[in-house]
């Protein structure tokens, strides 16, 4: 999830996000967005609740752009990558 933040509130927003259990990873970044958060939810209803009732109520969060992972062929969240042998 890419998050746009009001600049003076960046530290407070990051602190608030870090306390939310759905937020698994959190990064301050340069570029178009201010923060990238990897968020988990059991289903779309839980995600909607997280977005509407938690994230968007944090003072300083202006807006978000969300992408839903459909597949992870490579990376730390790919269950088969941990069982692959090293070369």
Q: What is the CATH number of the domain that holds 49?
A: 3.30.70.920
For residue 34, the enclosing domain spans: 2-65
Contact 75, 81 (CB under 8 A): yes
Measured distance CA(7)–CA(11) in Å, rounded:
9
Q: Per the confidence metrics, is the pTM higher than 0.85?
A: no
> Is residue 21 one of the residues assigned to a domain?
yes
Structurally, the chain folds into a number of domains equal to 1
All residues at 6 or more sequence positions from 36 whose CB lies less than 8 Å from its CB, including other chains: 1, 2, 3, 26, 27, 29
What are 16-58's pLDDT values in tens digits?
999 999 999 999 999 999 999 999 999 999 999 999 999 999 9
């Amino acid at each position: 999830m890419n998050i746009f933040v009001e600049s003076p509130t960046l530290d407070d927003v990051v602190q608030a996000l870090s306390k939310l259990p759905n937020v698994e990873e959190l990064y301050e970044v340069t570029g178009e967005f201010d923060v990238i958060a990897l968020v988990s939810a059991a289903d779309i209803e839980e995600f909607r609740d997280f977005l509407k009732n938690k994230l968007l109520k944090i003072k300083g969060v202006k807006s978000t752009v969300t992408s839903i992972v459909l597949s992870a062929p490579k990376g730390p969240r790919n269950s088969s990558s941990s069982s692959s042998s090293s070369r």
